[in-house]
Chains A and B, each alone.
Chain A
Amino acid sequence: MARAAVPGRLTWQVATLSAARWENPSARTLVLDVPGWPGHLPGQHVDVRLTAPDGYQAQRSYSIASSWPTPDGDRLELTVQRLSDGEVSPYLTDDLPLGGQIELRGPVGGRFVWRPQGTAPVLLVAGGSGVVPLMSMIRTRAVLGDRHPFRLVYSLRSPAELYYGEELRRLASGDADLDVHYAYTRAAPPGWPGRPARLDAAALAEHGWPPESGADCFVCGPAAFVEVVADLLVDAGHDPGRIRTERFGGTT
């Protein structure tokens, strides 16, 4: 069970990089071995701490991408987007070697969490790297064999920025209750119907759920994107109390 639900001290734990894969040229998924990891709920995040040989430290927060448990052994996955002016993310994407160690503590977060309860359908709206905690929800649903209807609306600038493309295709193709819609804003793949455009009310109405469905909505991405999407959902009639947001970095 997630630590957030069972209050106790969050201690730093050593995590060893056991595997890594590139989601795209600027985003790397870290597969971490964390002995004694207590488990987490989909949507939660961890604090990562890096220590340099001279003792200098830096901390940042990253969303958890993996489910718990995973289908094939317990491991924790983070997907890290390289920020060119970043202090921590370029190390995690480009420099942390297999077998290398970082520290983390968590899981953290109790609101931006999907719990497989009730019957409400689920709308996930991702802006770019905001898909990471939403992927944890999709993976958790798959691991549990849960049948809640899920719709993911995934806004991204171009196909080159896609995360988890193959896995999303595989999961959605075998599951009538999981729908994935890509909203390309600048460049679409060849043969894509329609033209690249910002996610708008019409697209959310077409690919989301109507407000009377009582859907649970999770919106994650850059702050400005989340602000716009949450406003659109409220305007469409969704209950603000059922809209959960996670705003990543960036400023408005």
Chain B
Amino acid sequence: MATVSPGFGGRRRTPRADLPPGQYEEQGFPVLSYGPTPRVPLDEWRFTITSESGTQQRWTWRELMALPHEDITVDIHCVTKWSKFGTDWRGVSLDVLLADTETTADYAVAHSYGGYTTNLPLEDLTDGKAWIAFSYGGEDLEPAHGGPARLLVPHLYFWKSAKWVNGLQLTETDEPGFWESVGYHNYGDPWREQRYQGD
């Protein structure tokens, strides 16, 4: 039984059915990162998929741009409680990038410029659920929001959508990433409010 705070009325908005538990709607686009924004020149940018056997596939920026793009409109949910509806992105589906990858791995760790990591089951990155996004709202993705490119996995809390992504390491065992190692939930489903370990 939750404790009632005397005199608290709240906003009294009818919560949208598409707002996950504990979230509120944000009109802006807050920026959250644990360090300075990395500076990644496009001519040095690389994205590398490394399989569990060590086989690597690598793309330059030019090669990424040559792949089929998709326009995606999705809701995003940050563990710090804000949700933003109908965000517009453009990116390359992970299905395209993983098409030639030989793997039996069940897990992936996303790596980023700046050293950030986050782990996901591989099945959460496939079948149209995840992209390498390089455009937001019709503009190049700003560095503060993860540009040149970020992972976009909108069905999980947004810390899983690694900014400044530069690779995926496929693993046979689940290896917790940065926030997952300091008390955040391993999977991070907003609809089950999996914010912290044990939720």
Contact = CB atoms under 8 A, between A and B. Distances in A.
A57 B22 contact: yes
B34 A244 contact: yes
B182 A97 contact: no
A96 B114 contact: no
A53 to B, nearest CB: 6
A192 interface: no
B122 interface: no
Interface stretch (A101-109, A126-134, A137-145): A101-109
B54 interface: no
Q: How large is the interface on B (under 10, 10 to 19, 20 to 34, 35 or more residues)?
A: 35 or more
Nearest to A59: B22
Given A61-B80, A243-B36, A247-B32, A50 B5 contact: yes
A9 B184 CA distance: 10
Interface string B186-199: 00000000011111
B182 to A, nearest CB: 3
B7 A97 contact: yes
A10 B198 contact: yes
Contacts of B66: none
B3 A110 contact: no
B29 A51 contact: no
A117 interface: no
B8, B10, B37, B182 — most chain A CB neighbours (10 Å):
B8
7 contacts: A5-B182, A50-B8, A61-B80, A97-B6, A108-B196, A110-B179, A111-B182
